Structure 1
């Protein structure tokens, strides 16, 4: 795993939720580095709430340190999270937090 020692033990973790920050290095850190770290750790789902783009990105199917699937959804739609989470998120309320 990249940056070993910076990450908690992922055993039993089914999903992480990451919300983009407003920092200048958000693109690299929140959209690339953290997502890669979660994939390398084998965490099945990484849900990225992207405040800059008003989207949710559902990263899934980690393999060889990368997520194989990363569909993006606009806020306001129902988003089905794949296995092993298997829930549908109603993202309508996220519109209330858009700038």
Structure 2
């Protein structure tokens, strides 16, 4: 079977958006590289990691907010649709934006890995490419399987030129435009 690409997508972006609107609440859909993907519903530890990150963002950057599950247009020509676990942007940035917001003004996207077969492809390969293509300055991957945090930066030509991985427990620098450090010891409690 030939893999789908944005040149030969499964459906149009408009058809995907209609499908996503009609999906039951327990199903979260994304459209990456021309393929519809089902994003797993997070468990409690996944939610605690996102909450922990929201608190840290509020403490260090009170003028920003880490929006959970905000849909973002990604990939070249806005044909992709992602629903990151967190999107860091100025407070009220998405007012009036609708379900799939433009990536302009987004400072960082966050993904927390889940225990499913598509995690490697989705969170470690396709999401970094999509977020880099959209010009999002920082992509933070909290990898519960590897017990590590990876910070992707310097988006250029659809890829991040820099990726730094540190184990849970390390201090992880989030460069500008985010501009603060994460002390990741707490993540050891949520590795499951």
Q: TM-score, normalised by structure 1?
A: 0.93
Task: Considering fraction of residues, name the structure with more helix.
Answer: 2
Give CA deviations for 1:47-97 in whole Å, capped at 9, x if unaligned: 000011000000000000000000100001111111111101110100111
User: Which of 89, 98, 123 is residue 30 of structure 1 equivalent to?
Assistant: 123
Displacement over 3 Å in runs of 4+: none
Q: Does 1:46 align with 2:106?
A: no
- 1:46, 1:59 within 8 Å by CA — same for their partners in 2? yes
Structure having the higher Rg: 2
How big is the shift at 1:98? 1.9
Between the aligned partners of 2:188 and 2:118, the Cα distance in structure 1 is 24
Alignment of 1:1-99 (within 5 A): 1=76, 4-7=79-82, 8-99=101-192
Indicate the RMSD between aligned Cα atoms, in angstroms: 1.4
- 2:168, 2:187 within 8 Å by CA — same for their partners in 1? yes
Between the aligned partners of 2:155 and 2:103, the Cα distance in structure 1 is 13
Between the aligned partners of 2:130 and 2:109, the Cα distance in structure 1 is 11
- 1:80, 1:88 within 8 Å by CA — same for their partners in 2? yes
Q: How many residues align?
A: 99
Higher relative contact order (CA 8 A, sep 6+): 1
Q: TM-score, normalised by structure 2?
A: 0.49
